[in-house]
Structure 1
C-alpha cells in the first residue's frame, strides 16, 4: 500500500515536471527565432533616382516647338575690281576729247621738237582717267609724239564775279619719233593743262621733253575743237 502511494506520487511529480518543462521550452525556443528575424531585417531607403516612363518621353504632336535660330557667320565679300571699258574718243574727267592746232616753241636742240614749228595735236579719251595725246610737229624734219597721259579732274583757279577759270592738269609719257636724215626714237615725258574755253573749244599748254639724240624740250600752245 505504501509502495503504491509512493509510485503514484512519483508518477504525478514526473508528469507535473514534464508539463512544466514543455510549457517553458517554447518560450525559450521562440527567442532565438525572434533574434534571427531581427538580425535579418533589412533597412530600405527611398530611391533618389527618378524614373521616367515611356509615356513621359512621348511628344505631344499638338505642341509646337520654337524654331532654333542657328547663328550664321558672314563671309567677307571678295574684293571686286571694276574694269574700265576703253572707248576711244570718250570724255575723261578733265573734259572732252578734241583736235587742234598750235605752235611749238623750242629751247635748243637738233630736232623739230626743240625748234619753232607748227603743231597739230589731239586728245583722245580712252577711259575716265586716261587719254592718248598724239601730236605732230612740222618743220625741217617731222617729229611725232605718242604719249599716254593721266587726266586729273577740273580744278578752279580763280573766281571773280561771273568769271571763273578752270584748269585740268595731265601728266604722262610715251615715245618721240624723229624723222629725216637721222631718224631715231626716244623716250618722251609730257605734262600740261587743259583750259575749257567754251563747250566747243579747249585751250591747252604743255611741256614736252624728249630724249632722242639728246635732251629736246618744247612748249606747245594751241586751241582744240571738242568732239
Structure 2
C-alpha cells in the first residue's frame, strides 16, 4: 500500500516537472509583440504610389487667351463655348481726293479782283501793253491753285496758269509765317482777235493778305507766241471761302 502511494506521487511530480519545462520553453520561443501601430492602407498607398498612377498635382495648366469663358452663361445647360476667329472688316478703304475747289491754300484764301497790266516786252498780245485786267485765284488743294486772268486790249489775252503756292517762314521758329506768299506756275495763254493764237504761259508772283476780305497780288506773265510777250500785273482781290 505504501509502495503504490509512493509510486503515484512520484509519477505526478514527474508529469508536473515535464509540463513546467514545456511551458518555459514555449514561453521563450514566443516572438516579441510589436508595439508600433500598423500602417494604414491609405498611408502606405500615399507613400508608395503605383507606378501606373498619374501624379495630377505635378500637371501645370496654362490658360490660352480668348479660350476661357468669363460669362455666367457657361453654367447654363447646353452652353457651347464659342471659338475665337479673326475678325474681318467688311469695309474697304476708299481713296478720297484732296481737291476742294475754292478752298484756302497755305498762300492764303481764294479771291477774285481787278488789276492793271504794265507791258514789259513783245508786241503780239495785250500782255505787252498797258491795259486793264481781271485776276483771280481758285484754290484746289493746300498747295495747288489755278489763277485764271484776262488782260483786256486790242488783242485780249486769257491766261490760265496752274500754280504751286509757297509759304515763307521766318527765322524764328516760334513766330507766325510771313504774310508774303509767293507762287510759280505754267499754263496756257490764249490770244484772241484777228490773229488768235494759243501759246505757252509761264508765271510767277506773290500774294499779300491785307485783311480777312482783301488780298494784294502781283505777277509777271510771259506768253510765248510768235514773239515773247511779258507783262506785270498788279491788283487786289476780294477773298471768298469756296463754291
The bucket for the TM-score relative to the shorter chain is: 0.5 to 0.7
Aligned equivalent of 2:142 = 128
Deviations along 1:37-56, whole A, 9 cap, x unmatched?
A: xxxxxxxxxxxxxxxx6545
Q: CA deviation at 1:181?
A: 1.0
Q: Secondary structure at the match of 1:148?
A: strand
Aligned equivalent of 2:185 = 172
2:166 to 139, 149, 152: 152
TM-score (norm 1): 0.62
Aligned equivalent of 1:24 = none
Q: Secondary structure at the match of 2:201?
A: strand
Where do 5+ consecutive residues of structure 1 fail to align?
Answer: 1-52, 70-79, 158-163
2:98 to 85, 88, 101: 85
In structure 1, how many angstroms separate the alpha carbons of the residues matched to 2:228 and 2:52? 100
Aligned equivalent of 1:97 = 110
Aligned residues: 158
In structure 1, how many angstroms separate the alpha carbons of the residues matched to 2:211 and 2:222? 29
Q: CA deviation at 1:198?
A: 1.1
Q: Are positions 1:208 and 2:221 aligned together?
A: yes
Q: Secondary structure at the match of 2:103?
A: coil
In structure 2, how many angstroms separate the alpha carbons of the residues matched to 1:142 and 1:130? 26
In structure 1, how many angstroms separate the alpha carbons of the residues matched to 2:105 and 2:234? 21
Where do 5+ consecutive residues of structure 2 fail to align?
Answer: 1-50, 66-92, 172-176
In structure 2, how many angstroms separate the alpha carbons of the residues matched to 1:61 and 1:142? 99
TM-score (norm 2): 0.58
Matches within 5 A, 1:8-27: none
Indicate conservation of the 8 Å contact 1:95/1:154, yes or no.
Answer: no
Aligned equivalent of 1:188 = 201
Deviations along 1:92-116, whole A, 9 cap, x unmatched?
A: 1111000010101111312101111
Q: CA deviation at 1:129?
A: 1.1
In structure 1, how many angstroms separate the alpha carbons of the residues matched to 2:136 and 2:61? 74
2:61 to 41, 60, 65: 65
Indicate conservation of the 8 Å contact 2:207/2:215, yes or no.
Answer: yes
Q: Secondary structure at the match of 1:107?
A: strand
- RMSD, matched Cα: 2.9
Bigger Rg over Cα = 1
4+ residue runs over 6 A deviation: none
**Which one has the bigger strand percentage?**
1
In structure 2, how many angstroms separate the alpha carbons of the residues matched to 1:118 and 1:97? 21
In structure 1, how many angstroms separate the alpha carbons of the residues matched to 2:219 and 2:162? 14
1:142 to 152, 156, 161: 156
